[in-house]
Structure 1
Amino acid sequence: MNIYKDYIKEIEERKVQGLHPKPIDSADLLSEIITLIKDSGNEHRKDALQFFIYNTLPGTTSAAGAKAQFLKEIILGESVLEEISPAFAFELLSHMKGGPSIEVLLDLALGTDMTGAKQAASVLKTQVFLYDADIDRLKEAFKNDNVIAKEILESYAQAEFFTKLPEVPEEIKIVTYIAGEGDISTDLLSPGNQAHSRSDRELHGKCMITPQAQEEIKALQAQHPDTSVMLIAEKGTMGVGSSRMSGVNNVALWTGKQASPYVPFVNIAPIVGGTNGISPIFLTTVDVTGGIGIDLKNWVKETDASGNVVRNENGEPVLEEVYSVATGTVLTINTKKKKLYNGDKELIDISKALTPQKMEFIKAGGSYAIVFGKKIQTVAAKILEIEAPTVFAPSKEITHEGQGLTAVEKYLTETLLASLLAKYYMPARMFV
């Protein structure tokens, strides 16, 4: 109980700062919480259940390992809880996205209980963040004529983890918020002097822009509950400076949507815009979270009758507003027409923000899911000795001084990226 009591003390201290309980990443703490849950008469049991279900970091944290094993106990009937049925345990495993949860799901899928195996297989078919060792287990079971392993591999080969996802909505309503005039630095979104708090997402989120800006964003969300707030760099570029995942994480925390109801303070799908677009590296990071970055082009250089740029007394070009994105303006992104609208009025073509590849990132909730998904589809098809169907948009051609990458080079680049992500990143690291 000592670690749990320390955690409760920390919770009280965080309340003074206006913070919620810190998400749990330690197996030692979660093990004490599981012990409290198993004690049906314990006074702390109700809170312990909430911490276990809603406040434990998934992925590759040691807490995720403890959580996955306890969920396995529940599924196997070794622990019986009124609040967590085997079906709910499978649902919780499905939201853990890689790491120990995959190991547990494979244990169940390749086990002797066919009912549990089929349920585990249904969850595994939705997962893409598997280690090579996980694939090797499936491959070995397939060679030994395991029907469940074959079923899972066939699903992977057909990329059902992607094709069965909901389509991107045709219309996405947004309400604008001007974060500042001129270029918006990543240091405004995630100050370097606050680097120490990045692992505590809620705490780090309090450093984005200013407390006043945060309150204004919350007010917009209250006024427009069915819209997403788009953070804008007016007359500038969004996300200049050093690349920071924490900067995009903060934008998503304040303006995006929760990735999972069982994972606190991890949001996806932020929408950002800039008069001069989005800094390329920052835009790539936006893609990681399944967000949208729009080159608004809402201010242009004013020209005279002869077509010459008009300049002010300082020699700077005079800008002319093409359309307004003043804070509080409600706009619509049409993902089919790839246009930005104000009511029925078309404002600008945003095809570059909604390429086939970017639409896949949005649908999958981030680019990493697509990178890993392509890899797992290719490997599964190879194991089954079949041709993988074309599901994903073809890779964009990358050029350098006019030299395009060959198909083999593009494949190797993509495969290398996937292997590096698997080794050094793994999906759950986005949770810490």
Structure 2
Amino acid sequence: ACEALGLELKSAYAQAKEISHPNQGMTAVEKIFNANAQGIRKDKTLHAGSDVRVKVNIVGSQDTTGLMTAQELEAMAATVLAPNVDGAYQSGCHTASVWDIKAQENTPKLMNFMSDFGLITGRDPKGIYHPMTDVIHKVLNDITVDDWAIIIGGDSHTRMSKGVAFGADSGTVALALATGEATMPIPETVKVTFTGSMAEHMDFRDVVHATQAQMLKQFGDNVFQGRVIEVHIGTLLADQAFTFTDWTAEMKAKASICISEDETLIKSLEIARDRIQIMIEKGMDNDAQMLGGLIKIAETRINQIKSGEKPAIKPDNNAKYFAEVTVDLDLINEPMIADPDVNNIDISKRYTHDTIRPISFYDANKKVDLGFVGSCMVHKGDIKIVAQMLRNLEKTSGKVEFKAPLVVASPTYNIIEELKDEGDWEILQKYSGFEFDDSSPKTAARTEYENILYLERPGCNLCMGNQEKAAKGDTVLATSTRLFKGRVVEDTDSKTGESLLASTPVVVLSAILGRTPDIKEYKQAVTGIDLTKFKPPQKSSLDSLSAHY
């Protein structure tokens, strides 16, 4: 009310902490917080440690915590989405694998509530469009159409590669939906840059894992923990860059922000715009024409960058960082695997995501009971890698046989549609022993697996572990996010289940061999494959300051 009347807002509460350092520039996240700050003078610059109330642009609710968010909204007597929120989405991805009695009772109720509240919903309560079980993080990454945006989502992997995103509890998500605002301290930032060049046989997932390993070697302690990672991977499109920003949850960072080059950001925004248009054509837009509004925001941002009026966000040359990490790509010469290290004598070092091992560590004799390609960590290029590897093996061996089950779950339906148009889905269907059927979804979780290729419904699938899991005691090699005890696979009385995390080509080859490959087998298998590549941006002239190192 005060804002509308042009009056100063006087609070009965203590003043928020405001930290401002004269003549000090801003990191990218400090710039975003200052641009979105509410209730502060526009001529005042706030730095890390300041408490700030900020406008929230994009809000996401997922289907396991969404019911609690709905209860929070009801308790607040909130009935409609805040008008200053650009986009809000309710997913159905965490309950996509198994349409059991619990999901049938809860999910429609949730979708109906959120649709009435003003969100775009993965499932249409009116039944007009096909149920979309797309992974929430991939959808949020698509509907984030401004690199200056702040995103709040009910999941720790809310870590978009455009703007800055924060995973939050159901109450914070409810507040963001109802008010279009959130209050939090501006986090400290760790800058990550890259030198050298990727080897031809390496995949970007290996770079992501190696970043954690090289950081720990450089600093001893995890300098990422509780801070924002400002990662300079500006030559990667948002889909591919998300593999890094998503993994920052496993790096224990609070959030991540991707510094993109102008041309790359334009291409990413054009892809996002076109995917939003597909959502509109499917009938997913609401009465407020939220999706149409996002397309207008995307067009405006694209034009701003093209004209030079407002280039892609960059930190100031005199920004101050908590620490700076430099990743040497030349040191990464074999696939890197995140290992739960289940037999470590120090139990505090088990299931940490900090044990990163080269594939040679396993001497090509680590038995693999199941492979999983899926989760928010993969993009279309990963599913294309599966198809390309099957074609290559078919040419060299005449056929493809699996010595372990391989479960493939595309994160979104639009990826499957694009793969069909590009001719890659056909080879996957050829070798699949199971393909999802939306007209007759599974009503019970799979408990036994055969040595075949499973094409599962888009969604979280094995990664979440709340519906389906691998067989107890299995050793799983997966592209997913978590390697925690009991998540993807549980223990038996005699054998500890373990989930190791690796790149898509390593997972596919391991399922075919029934074990981890040696480096020679791996190089041969990926020859001619379009792996996700990364070339560091041109050396920036910006010289920043590190506060603590």
Normalised TM-score (structure 2): 0.24
Between structures 1 and 2, the one with greater helix share:
1
Instruction: Return the index of the structure with the highest Cα Rg.
Output: 1
Normalised TM-score (structure 1): 0.28
| Greater RCO, CA 8 A, separation 6+ | 2
